[in-house]
Amino acid sequence: MSSNKNKRQMADVDEQLEVLFHGADFGDRATQKNMEKELRVMLEQDRPLKVYAGFDPTSVDLHLGHTLPMRKLRQFQDFGHIVTFLIGNFTGLVGDPSDKDKTRPMLSADELAENAKTYTGQAFKILDSKSTIIKYNADWLSKLSFSDVVSLCSKFTVAQFLERDNFAKRWQAHNPVYLSEFMYAIMQAYDAVALKTDIQIGGSDQLFNLMAGRTLQKDAGLNPQVVITLPILVGTDGHERMSKSTGNSIGINDSPEDMFGKVMSIPDSAIMQYFTLLTALTPSEVSKIEKDLNEGSLLKMDAKKELALQIVKIFHGEKNANNAQEFFEATIQRNEIPKNILELVIAEPDSLSKILLKSSLVQSGGEVRRLTSQGAITVNGNVIDDFMTLINDKDEIRVGRHRFLRIRIDQQ
């Protein structure tokens, strides 16, 4: 990484622009061209630019979709720019309504503080911990007076907010739209003022909030930030946005084997989006993969294996990524039982449900029943349709495609 990092720090403006806008999605070509033009001017000043992205700690279970702005921040780091990882411990009290068609439940300050403890550790799987600045927006937002807030609100109209697609749909459907949700965009916009930032990274659904930051910066006498927005990552189904609640997510704390297997399960239509947004490959390397796929010189199965290898390597290292590939090829492609299978010692035969819960291979009785009804559990190669099936000594259980368990009875 160090040699690559030094190379990128010496990169010229054109190379930086190619990498930094690779995968960006503004939904509007004119906006993107304007942002590219402004960033070129900044880069030509030949100084480290101040870049940030905000993350509301509303959940502790981060998935690959959350990492898109982190990956873009890392690209800026590799070019020698100054990166701030902003934890929205104040904006999180409201919750970002950008991608919501209904009001988002509010979390307490204590819940946000607890969630925030895990965020930096997870972020540092991508970002360089030694050169990342960590800040919390409660440090300035909590100190604004009511007159300050009124002054900030006066820079925007209600019509501007109601033009946003998600608010417009709720308004037309006579569903509530709360003033606190309007305030989210204003608070996020003020973050840009407080940080005196040059560039902000966010999702394409946050474009309004990021552009509002430019408005407040201009009003404060600052140069307006360049905004770079990224598309919404599709989940393993290839259609819906990645979400744990939808069941189509890949968690960044998933085991190497689970992560590899889930990436292999994505539809072919999502391969290039994942290469573009989730790997450390250069734009030219991604373009070559796409060219080889289109020409047929690269098989889609081989492309997915390379994709899974690249992603797992980021979060678990090269050795674990290689082991995960071997695990996939053995268990999925050759239908073998892995050599280092998890073993559970019990005193006497017991039901499948109790054993799976005791082993922590599943998290609840409901999950056992669901997996059983789906035919996703086998014992000694036979599909099980009764979650109360009795499990005996030396039985081998397979849950889904990637989880295995061997039972050993020790009556001592």
Residue 316 CA to residue 299 CA, distance in Å, equals 25
Beta strands 377-379; 382-383: pairing state: antiparallel
In a domain, 80, yes or no: yes
The reported pLDDT for the residue numbered 79 is 95
Most distant CA atoms of the chain, gap in Å: 77
Average pLDDT over residues 144-158: 93
Q: Do 324 and 376 share a domain, yes or no? A: no
Residue 103 has pLDDT above 50, yes or no: no
Q: Count how many domains the chain has.
A: 3
Q: Look at residues 186, 195, 192 and name the one whose alpha carbon lies nearest to residue 148.
A: 186
Asked if the structure places residue 239 within a domain, the reply is no
Query: Is the pLDDT assigned to residue 99 strictly greater than 60?
Result: no
Q: What is the CATH number of the domain that holds 103?
A: 3.40.50.620
pLDDT at 3: 41
In the block, tokens 């209600």 appear at: 158
For residue 279, give the CATH number of its domain: 1.10.240.10
Helix (H, G, I), strand (E, B) or coil at 406: strand
Burial class (CB within 10 angstroms; exposed 0-12, middle 13-18, buried 19+) of 323: middle
- Clarify whether residues 398 and 325 are in a common domain: no
Q: Is the pLDDT of residue 112 over 80?
A: no
pLDDT at 2: 40
> pLDDT-derived band of residue 110, with 50, 70 and 90 as boundaries?
confident
Residues 372 and 224 in one domain: no
* 397 within domain boundaries: yes
Query: Are residue 318 and residue 367 in the same domain, yes or no?
Result: no
How far is residue 233's CA from residue 240's CA, in Å, rounded to a whole number? 8
- The number of residues in the chain equals 412
Task: Look up the domain containing 21 and give its range.
Answer: 2-230
Residues 381 and 267 in one domain: no
What's the pLDDT at 335? 79
In the block, tokens 């599909």 appear at 383
Strands (E) across 248-401 are located at: 343-346, 350-351, 377-379, 382-383, 390-391, 396-399
Same domain assignment for residues 191 and 42:
yes
The pLDDT value recorded for residue 339 is 73
110 and 219 both lie in a single domain: yes
pLDDT band at 54 (very low <50, low <70, confident <90, very high): very high
pLDDT band per the 50, 70, 90 thresholds, residue 5: very low
What pLDDT does residue 97 have? 52
H or E element in which residue 205 lies: none
pLDDT at 333: 86
The domain that holds 362 is classified in CATH as 3.10.290.10
- Among 333, 368, 388, identify where a domain stops: 333
Please report the pLDDT score of residue 102 as a whole number. 45
Q: What percent of the chain is predicted at pLDDT more than 70?
A: 92
User: Residue 338 domain-assigned?
Assistant: no
Do 103 and 225 belong to one domain? yes
Averaged pLDDT for residues 168-188: 82
Cα angle, residue 115 at apex, residues 20 and 49 outer, rounded to 5°: 25
Task: For residue 7, name the pLDDT band (cuts at 50, 70, 90).
Answer: very low
Q: What pLDDT is attached to residue 24?
A: 95
Domain contains 235: no
- What percent of the chain clears pLDDT 90, i.e. is strictly above it? 59
- 171 & 308 share domain: no
**Mean of pLDDT values over 177-202:** 91
What tens digit of pLDDT does each residue of 209-245 get? 999 999 999 999 999 999 999 999 999 999 999 988 7
Whether 76 shows a pLDDT value over 50: the answer reads yes
Q: For residue 155, what pLDDT band results from cuts at 50, 70 and 90?
A: very high
DSSP state of 329: I
Residue 111 shares a structural domain with residue 18: yes
Closest CA to 140 of 180, 197, 96, 179: 197
Residue listed under structure tokens 């909030």: 209
Average pLDDT of the residues in 58-66: 81
Among 104-118, 340-354, 371-385, 396-410, which is the least confidently predicted range? 104-118
Q: Indicate the residue among 230, 264, 286 that finishes a domain.
A: 230
Cα angle at 394 between 393 and 395, to 5 degrees?
Answer: 95
Give CA angle at 242 (314, 111), nearest 5°: 85
pLDDT higher than 90, residue 57 = no
149 or 93: which leads in pLDDT: 149
| Average pLDDT, integer, range 134-163 | 91
* pLDDT exceeds 60 at position 100: no
Domain presence at residue 399: yes
Sign for the pseudo-dihedral over CA of 121, 122, 125, 126:
negative
Residues 383, 291 within the same domain? no
Is the pLDDT score of 10 beyond 70? no
Look at residue 6 in the predicted model and tell me its pLDDT. 44
Decide: helix, strand or coil at residue 343.
Answer: strand
Of 366 and 325, which is predicted with more confidence?
325
In angstroms, the CA 294 to CA 288 distance is 10
pLDDT at 109 over 80: no
Domain-embedded: residue 249: no
Query: Across residues 378-403, what is the average pLDDT?
Result: 88
277 and 178 within one domain = no
| Inside any domain, residue 171 | yes
